[in-house]
Amino acid sequence: MDLQLRDKVAVITGGSVGIGLAVAEGLASEGVHLALCARNEERLNREAQRIRDEFKVEVMTFPCDISRQSDVAEFIGAIQSHFGGADILINNAGTGSEEKIATADDEKWQYYWDLHVMAAVRMSRGLMSAMEVRGGGIILNNSSICAAQPLGYEPIYNTTKAALSMFSKCLANECIPLNIRVNTINPGLIITPDWINTAEILGKKTGISADQYLENLAKEYTPIGRFGTPKELADFFVFMCSPRASYCVGSTYYVDGGWLNVVK
């Protein structure tokens, strides 16, 4: 299937590792040029070079903290001067939290609000008029199954991801007349280096290996009984960026191995 993506420009927040990196590779393999951001400059530049070498596409990097308004503004400015806008925006940067509502302070709430919600608001607002000028575009918000089915240990993550999903729906309605398709993707358990680190720490505490810890977790949560790979998820992202997905708009898609426990 020709996904008709060659020479499009995609912006991916958090494109240096895990899901964002897999989406970057998936799009690059279709001939899409990239603008990637993350905080760790060395890793970002290393992965960007690998993608350039392997896929022969243009990759612009911009080290920044996407939770900060000024960093987002500078990133958008750099995208405009380098590519003159973008056709695809993947709001992906994010991370889990761990807290009790009783003891988490405002600062922590604010950080996750800025990272999961305001970064997507600011990036979308900053790029949508250029997308319209280019004839339309795609915005995908990487939320989480936790937006609908909360995990007990991370109320701030659950709440801010739920807000991101609602933002995504509102943006979709506003963007349809501009020929910009906005959707939300809710992954379940996707095996990233971050999960492996966590499993090493938590497995040690309970006297089991990281692999055993991950296997137990996947069996407990997912009917499919395993983690998904970043590539399995990225393939879905790439399809959703394609004109082949032209009737998919304003929706939320779960890629979760059957973990969502309701019919929705």
Q: Which residues are catalytic?
A: 157
Closest CA to 182 of 79, 118, 242, 251: 251
Considering the rule CB under 6 A, would residue 18 count as an interface residue with ligand NDP? yes
The region of 16-24, 26-34, 165-173, 245-253 touching ligand NDP under the rule CB under 6 A is: 16-24
Contact 64, 36 (CB under 8 A): no
DSSP, residue by residue, 76-138: HHHHHHHHSS-SEEEE---------TTT--HHHHHHHIIIIIIHHHHHHHHHHHHHHHTT-EE
Distance CA 119, CA 93 (A): 9
Based on CB atoms, which residue is closest to ligand NDP, 65 or 232?
65
Task: Pick the binder of ligand NDP from 3, 5, 9, 14 (CB under 6 A).
Answer: 14
The span from the CA of 244 to the CA of 237, in Å, is: 12
E strand or H helix that includes residue 158: helix 155-175
Phi first, then psi, for residue 49 (nearest 5°) are -65, -40
Of the candidate residues 72, 79, 115, 148, the single one contacting ligand NDP (CB under 6 A): 115
CB nearer ligand NDP, residue 34 or residue 37? 37
Q: Using the rule CB under 6 A, is 110 a contact of ligand NDP?
A: no
Determine phi and psi for 29, rounding to 5 degrees. -70, -15
Q: Which lies closer to ligand NDP via its Cβ, residue 14 or residue 134? A: 14
Q: Give the position of tokens 């990759």.
A: 59
Our CB check for ligand NDP shows the closer of 69 and 95 to be: 95
Whose Cβ is closer to ligand NDP: residue 75's or residue 134's?
A: 75
Binding pattern for the stretch 119-158 against ligand NDP, x by CB under 6 A and - elsewhere: -----------------------x-x--------------
Cβ proximity of 27 and 34 under 8 Å: yes
**CB burial readout 73-84, b (16+ within 10 A) else e:** eebbebbeeebe
Sole window of 92-100, 122-130, 211-219, 234-242 interacting with ligand NDP (rule: CB under 6 A):
92-100
> Which residue among 99, 194, 215, 232 contacts ligand NDP (CB under 6 A)?
194
**Binding residue for ligand NDP, selected from 123, 172, 190, 240, defined by CB under 6 A:** 190
Q: Which of 11, 34, 66, 238 binds ligand NDP (CB under 6 A)?
A: 66
Amino acid making up residue 155: P
Could you tell me how many residues of this chain bind ligand NDP (CB under 6 A)? 29
Among 3, 8, 9, 16, binds ligand NDP (CB under 6 A): 16
